[in-house]
A = this chain, B = another copy of it.
Amino acid sequence: MFMANKNIFFAHSGGVTATINTTLSGVLTEYKKNKDFFDRMFIGCNGIIGAIEETMVDVSDWNAKAIEAVRTTPGSIFGSCRFKLKDPAKQASEFSRILEVFKTHKIGYFIYNGGNDSQDTTLKISEYCKANGHPLVCIGIPKTIDNDLECTDHSPGFGSAAKYLATSMLEASIDLASMSKTSTKVFILEVMGRNAGWLAASTALAPKPYNADVILMPERTFDEKATIAKIKSTVEEKGYCSVTVAEGLKNKKQEIWSSQKNNVDAFGHAQLGGVGAQLSQLIQKKLKLKTHFAIADYLQRSARHIASKVDANEAFALGEEAVKFCKARKTGKMLTIERLSNHPYRSRIKDTDLTNVANKEKLIPDYFIDADGLNINNACIEYLKPLIAGEDYPNYHSGLPSYKNFEISLVKKQLDAITHI
């Protein structure tokens, strides 16, 4: 077994979630059970950048208490990154550096936890190392609050963000209803979602009458007239109207409708936000109604205090499974979740070739969207409902979740620092 007693390199990638560390705690738990098989376990600082800069934390000796603290802490304990590796066919310096670091530190296993951009990175590293004679087991673990990964029923991180947003919509709509007689008539919640409206859709889960009355998702181009008409009739019927809008809402020319469309992130995607304010102004202008709007932003993906138990359990199990795949030398795969039943909800872990998921996006299908395009239907509710079930509270200290600050014990560098690659 030439792979035995090699080290594991684990890294987070892309936007963090409330349960991305929960997956890591699953990895650590299974690693601890197999310390006779593997050698050390390293975590890259700031995701794959840790491999390029040779900055890695050795977590091999962490005890059960530390691993439990990892389980309930949001964000990424040693940092994630938005960093797209250059195409190795055009410029291989990043890949050759990663290979050098992996060889130097006897990395035989690479576990990468991220979204669709990140699965592309996993795939490329897998292929590069294979082509360059370094045997490396590469496993991708899904993670995204956007729930837009292909080949998996849903993605870890989404359920907790959905639970947070559905709860926020429920609570804010109760507030709105309380004030609507003399004050605010329309409440707008701006949520994340560049192309996929799953997060926006989750606000339909709040029980009636406190659900989102109107959901503006990126899967449907913004129809100003129909939207204003539905808000107007909803206010006339129930006295108030709750609206969810995804930051990636597009107009008929397929341009982002929000005002902040000129900032571009490291993946080349526009940095969004601002659509809530814009919609608020439009409603004030067209309907002369008082509006309020909230922007959930980072809060929706870091709210570990109201994580979904189903999401946390699945995130943990995927981490365990990734280590089992390493041991079994299954490589070039991303783990997936298959739904077995809704009543009761049951799922199991499967896998797919990385080529099937890299750089693809799963949007809300037409059969989940109402005919008017302004909300989701009961079939979508049935799909979403089990994913937010159950609570997984963190411990509290002095009135606040006691999230741990983990000590960094860096692996000794053996290579020259890179100046540029």
Contacts and interface: CB of A to CB of B under 8 A. Distances in A.
B401 A299 contact: no
Contact of A46 (B181, B298, B301): B181
Nearest to A309: B399
Interface string A294-327: 1111110111111010000000000000000000
B403 A79 contact: no
A75 B266 CA distance: 42
A403 B170 contact: yes
A135 interface: no
Contacts of A46: 181-182
A265 B271 CA distance: 33
Given A389-B399, A399-B163, A75 B302 contact: no
A163 B277 contact: no
Given A75-B178, A181-B49, A266-B182, A167 B298 contact: no
A5 interface: no
B187 A298 contact: yes
Given A79-B181, A179-B82, A170 B388 contact: no
Contact of A299 (B266, B294, B405): B294
A74 B16 CA distance: 30
A81 interface: yes
A98 to B, nearest CB: 16
A367 interface: no
17 contacts: A12-B178, A16-B175, A79-B180, A79-B181, A163-B399, A167-B305, A171-B302, A172-B297, A174-B302, A263-B284, A271-B290, A276-B295, A292-B298, A294-B296, A295-B297, A306-B306, A388-B399
Given A81-B183, A176-B298, 11 more contacts: A46-B182, A49-B182, A81-B182, A166-B399, A170-B400, A175-B298, A183-B266, A293-B295, A294-B298, A295-B297, A389-B399
Interface of A: 12, 15-16, 18, 45-46, 49, 73-76, 79-83, 163, 166-168, 170-172, 174-183, 187, 205-207, 209-210, 263, 265-266, 271, 273-274, 276-277, 284, 290, 292-299, 301-306, 308, 385, 388-391, 393, 396, 398-401, 403, 405
